[in-house]
Structure 1
Amino acid sequence: MSIWQQFFKDPVIFFSFTGLAIVIGLCVFYAIYFYIKAKNA
């Protein structure tokens, strides 16, 4: 079975990686946000 098929068929894997992607995205956003705010201050 392909890893993509398993990713979309198993809800545990799908929601785990989706949640992880959201958290990492938020971390990157806030790191850039605070860097820009600190640079301009």
Structure 2
Amino acid sequence: MHAWNDFLTTDYGLMSLAVIAFMFVMLGYIYHYVAKHVKEDTEKHDRLVREAHGG
């Protein structure tokens, strides 16, 4: 319980909490960015394959 108290009330605890939260936000952003570009590249590749086969 003392660890939680230190984590939520001290300056180093709050800074740690901010860094952890920032990391989760960045993880979500990077996942979204990569997933978006993978989808776009997959669609572009599929379109080029269809055009190459005359379809």
TM range (shorter): 0.7 to 0.9
Partner of 2:37: 25
Counting aligned pairs with the same residue, the percent is: 0
Query: Which of these residues, 4, 13, 23, is aligned with residue 25 of structure 2?
Result: 13
Aligned structure 1 segments of 4 or more residues deviating by more than 3 angstroms:
none
TM-score (norm 1): 0.75
Residue identity matched to 1:16? G
| Structure 2: runs of 5 or more not aligned | 1-18
TM-score (norm 2): 0.57
